[in-house]
Amino acid sequence: MQTELFAKMDELYASMSKGQKRIADYIKDNPEQASYMTAAKLGHAVSVSESTVVRFAGSLGYGGYPELQKALREVIRSRLDNMQTVGLTYGQRSQSEIIDAVLKSDIERIADTLSLLNPEAFDATCELIANARNIYIIGIRQDAPLASFLAFYLNMMFGNARLIQTTSVSEIFEQMISIGSDDVLVGIGFPRYSMRTLKAMEFANNRNACVISITDSAHSPMNLYSSCNLFARSDSVSIVDSLVAPLSLINALVVSLCIKKQDDVSRNLKIIEDAWSDFQVYGQDEIDFLDDDRIRGNDG
């Protein structure tokens, strides 16, 4: 779950100075290391002065840097406590009972997502993606598999999806240098939200691109820069936040786009299948071509 410290950084991030943003980025990406750094060492790591780090702590409501450091250590300690709680909760259960509990929790998350889904927002998202010149997709850390899944299928269907893959903020901007008003950026983010994803969304928004967020709630900082928001539940019974509901939502988005752009999808998939055959990428028995009937949902 999102901690008070990280939630406060997310809330104030847009109004922070460049130096303060570098501090926030470093703390969120390296919480364990930062919790044992002095203000001087943290400042050196992100190329700001020690006084900037101290002022950063004050801007978050702490009496000084030691209080911020204490709060960060409590975050790490709470994670260890969560691991111990999981051990106490499930340590005496059989493997089949653990599977039952986790899968039932995932089913509940999907049901919650369905009940919270805004059909108008979903339709608007499909429309924006279907009409985009280019589709940029970003998801960092635990969100990366979701971004990769969406990019893989959109690129296979339309040929204009670009997955942003990097650990450097500067490289993110380099990959988005041509984004403009005819393009769409899909930002995927669940707690803990990635500052790099937020920066990419802010950059796309500043370039007048359509920005879509796939996140966990209306309170997510991902919504600061997006004009269209889709929500999915990601919490679970374990220490690992479940991505089953977000993946199910993305799957529904892919299917809806496939139906919406049947002709384009059929043409692109035919090109791909021909290339697979010509260059012997797969054996014939491995090619599972998505033909027109399957696109239309027919059994015959």
Do 40 and 121 belong to one domain? no
- The answer as to whether 100 is a domain residue is no
The pLDDT assigned to 105 comes to 75
User: Do 252 and 122 share a domain, yes or no?
Assistant: yes
Domain check: are 55 and 113 in the same one? Answer: no
Q: Which of 61, 75, 85, 108 is nearest to 2 (CA)?
A: 75
Q: Can you give the pTM of this predicted structure? A: 0.63
* Encoded tokens for 106: 């995932």
Q: How far apart are CA 6 and CA 258, in angstroms?
A: 38
16 lies in the same domain as 139 = no
Q: Does 186 reside within a domain?
A: yes
Question: And the tokens for 242?
Answer: 């479940």
pLDDT per residue as tens, the chain (300 positions)? 346 788 788 888 888 999 999 999 888 888 878 888 889 999 999 999 999 999 999 999 898 899 898 888 877 766 554 445 455 454 555 667 667 777 887 788 888 888 888 899 999 999 999 999 999 999 988 889 999 999 998 988 888 899 998 766 678 888 888 999 999 999 998 877 888 888 889 999 999 999 999 988 887 888 888 889 999 887 654 445 678 889 999 999 988 888 887 777 677 667 666 665 655 555 555 545 445 555 555 554
Residues 152 and 214 in one domain: yes
Same domain? For 36 and 174 the reply is no
From 64, 89, 114, the end of a domain falls on 89
Query: Same domain for 63 and 18?
Result: yes
* Co-location of 143 and 245 in the same domain: yes
Contact 297, 261 (CB under 8 A): no
Residue 256: the pLDDT is 87
Strand 184-188 relative to strand 161-163, pairing: unpaired
Same domain, 73 and 134: no
Q: Which residues share a beta bridge with 163? A: 137
65 and 182 share one domain: no
Which residues fall within 8 angstroms of residue 163, CB to CB, at 6 or more apart?
A: 137, 138, 147, 148, 151, 152, 155
CB 234 within 8 A of CB 243: yes
Q: Which domain does 154 fall in, by range? A: 106-260
Indicate the number of domains in the chain: 3
Rounded to the nearest 5°, which phi and psi values hold at 241?
A: -65, 130
Q: Which residues contact 227 (CB under 8 A, 6 or more apart)?
A: 210, 211, 212
